[in-house]
């Protein structure tokens, strides 16, 4: 996909994760490289799905969820509401 057609995904939703290792220490990992992990766009769209029980057409719901996510990312770029 070219840069002109690439969808702005807002970057990683959780750029750092803390996890306990086998010895009880804490390590920080960065998981959002090469498409791994969840983007902020995916996270926002997933929040819309929390109210999915009213929808019969799941394809329409998915499109709606990502349109809301895209609107949220655009508002975020402009400094919020």
**Each residue's pLDDT tens digit, 19-36:** 555 556 655 555 545 555
In a domain, 6, yes or no: no
Model pLDDT for residues 28-75, shown as the tens digit of each residue: 555 545 555 678 899 999 998 888 888 899 999 999 999 999 999 999
Owning domain of residue 59: 17-77
In a domain, 5, yes or no: no
In a domain, 34, yes or no: yes
Residues 38 and 12 sit within 8 Å (Cβ to Cβ): yes
In a domain, 65, yes or no: yes
In a domain, 45, yes or no: yes
Its pTM stands at: 0.64
In a domain, 29, yes or no: yes
In a domain, 8, yes or no: no
- Please state the domain count of the chain: 1
- For residues 18 and 10, what is the distance between their CA atoms, to the nearest angstrom? 21
- Interior angle at CA 30, CA 26 and CA 35, nearest 5: 150
In a domain, 38, yes or no: yes
């Amino acid at each position: 996909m070219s840069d002109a057609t690439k969808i702005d995904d807002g970057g990683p939703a959780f750029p750092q994760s803390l996890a306990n290792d086998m010895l009880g220490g804490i390590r920080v990992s960065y998981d959002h490289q090469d498409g791994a992990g969840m983007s902020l766009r995916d996270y926002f769209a997933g929040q819309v799905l929390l109210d999915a029980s009213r929808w019969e057409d799941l394809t329409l719901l998915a499109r709606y969820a990502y349109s809301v996510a895209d609107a949220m990312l655009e508002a975020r770029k402009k400094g919020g509401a």
